[in-house]
Amino acid sequence: MKTLRVLTGITTSGTPHLGNYVGAVRPTVRASRQPEVDSFYFLADYHALIKVGDPARVQRSTLEIAATWLACGLDPEAVTFYRQSDIPEIPELTWLLTCVTGKGMLNRAHAYKASVDKNTASGEDPDAGVTAGLFMYPVLMAADILMFNAHRVPVGRDQIQHIEMARDIAASFNHLYGEHFTLPEAAIEAHVATLPGLDGRKMSKSYDNTIPLFTPREQLRKLIMGIVTDSRLPGEPKDTDGSALFQLYQAFASAEETAGLAQAYASGIAWGEAKQLLFERIDQEIAPMRAAYEELMQNPAQIERTLQRGAEKARSVATPFTRQLRHAVGLRALDTLAAAAPAPKSAKIMAPSFKQYRQSDGLFYFKLVDGGGQLLLQSEGFTSPKEAGQAITRLQSQGTAALDAPGPRLNLIASATELSTALAQLSGQGS
């Protein structure tokens, strides 16, 4: 039963490297195989626009990252795998969230603050070169997460603050408009945020010390031979502590293999030999995926189709949920007011609404209440919010006929006529 919703994105701003693989791709592909996990993985291409101004690079990186995820074993049938910019509801939600987000909170975001501090230190205007996109980054990210009511968000340490902000934003919205959003939690892979690069610092595009994940075998060998070591000679014992080579090995090897290398360090293995071991160990894991990757890269049209199917799946959640959120904040058609009694005290009590929620049994429920708060219909538990959302969509398109659809029962509390009236009112609001 899928009770845990896990969501993460990768910004499409560069070529995936070993750090991305160990830190993000490998753990998320593994997590997606757990039967209780409902996975949402996406290509964060709107986020890429914040730092990349080169259209060809954004497109190329989107292809590379999609091919990487697929080559590493992500099953697009078993998960929801999509491109952020195929979901127009996300920028729409970004605006709804922007309006409940404190500017002061965004002022404190690390990435924005780092730019401001750097400007200040160099005597520039504090906001020189800072776009509003950079400033708004955390809100767009909150929309990514909250749109799908993710429980858990696997990220690197540098992203923890963004998840906390998403929680704060969700809580503000819920407080103002009712319980619409699940509060997400960051999930951190303990050892991976620190995968070292060629120079021993954290592997990162910004240090120019990365090993591209699917670089050809011979190139991989060359790069690994260039990893920085100390000057100890063959035969001299070597320190595993602070050895980038050792840490890289550890990220790929079993505990026994790692212990074996530690032993070899102690007995004075030559650096060249240790590098050769590391190279073979990494290549052993990567080689089959590299072949799949190269084939996928020859077939962008196939990847595009996969993403389009993923977008359809994602929107089967996002579209009805956005309809619900628009209604919640008061973006409503006016004819429901005209149909109502004169001079209503508050628009809030006029319109019926769907409410989706999760109970302690882990299942996802919804109910339909009328403008006066009377319960009209109560669902039984669905295993995923997606299925609950689909049942709502069916009700909206088929009316009472949808009551007989297979799946968890929809218990009609009111009369069929009252239900039809409420659904008609809802559809009159449009979306």
Q: Which residues bind ligand TRP (CB under 6 A)?
A: 7-9, 11, 44, 47, 141, 144-145, 153, 155, 159
Nearer to ligand TRP, 44 or 97 (CB): 44
- Distance in Å, CB of 61 to ligand TRP, minimum: 13
- Distance in Å, CB of 150 to ligand TRP, minimum: 8
Nearer to ligand TRP, 38 or 144 (CB): 144
- Distance in Å, CB of 27 to ligand TRP, minimum: 13
- Distance in Å, CB of 358 to ligand TRP, minimum: 20
Torsion 226-230-233-234 (CA) sign:
negative
Nearer to ligand TRP, 53 or 373 (CB): 53
Closest CA to 41 of 73, 15, 2, 6: 6
Nearer to ligand TRP, 44 or 317 (CB): 44
**H, E, C per residue of the chain:** CCCEEEEEEEECCCCCEHHHHHHHHHHHHHHCCCCCEEEEEEEEHHHHHHHCCCHHHHHHHHHHHHHHHHHCCCCCCCCEEEEHHHCCHHHHHHHHHHCCCCHHHHHCCHHHHHHHHHHHHCCCCCCCCCCHHHHHHHHHHHHHHHHCCCCEEECCHHHHHHHHHHHHHHHHHHHHHCCCCCCCEEECCCCHHHCECCCCCECCHHHCCCCECCCCHHHHHHHHHCCCCCCCCCCCCCCCCCCHHHHHHHHHCCHHHHHHHHHHHHCCCCHHHHHHHHHHHHHHHHHHHHHHHHHHHCCHHHHHHHHHHHHHHHHHHHHHHHHHHHHHHCCCCCHHHHCCCCCCCCHHHCCCEEEEEECCCCCEEEEEECCCCCEEEEECCECCHHHHHHHHHHHHHHHHHHHHCCCCCEEECCCHHHHHHHHHHHHHCCC
Nearer to ligand TRP, 50 or 282 (CB): 50
Nearer to ligand TRP, 44 or 325 (CB): 44
* Other C-beta atoms lying within 10 Å of the C-beta of residue 5: 25
Closest CA to 47 of 111, 118, 133: 133
Nearer to ligand TRP, 87 or 392 (CB): 87
- Distance in Å, CB of 429 to ligand TRP, minimum: 30
- Distance in Å, CB of 274 to ligand TRP, minimum: 31
- Distance in Å, CB of 11 to ligand TRP, minimum: 5
Nearer to ligand TRP, 63 or 139 (CB): 139
Nearer to ligand TRP, 145 or 227 (CB): 145
- Distance in Å, CB of 153 to ligand TRP, minimum: 5
Nearer to ligand TRP, 158 or 236 (CB): 158
- Distance in Å, CB of 142 to ligand TRP, minimum: 8
- Distance in Å, CB of 90 to ligand TRP, minimum: 9
CA–CA distances in Å: residue 30 to residues 34, 79, 109, 358, 401: 7, 12, 31, 26, 40
Nearer to ligand TRP, 132 or 341 (CB): 132
- Distance in Å, CB of 362 to ligand TRP, minimum: 22
Torsion 317-319-323-328 (CA) sign:
positive
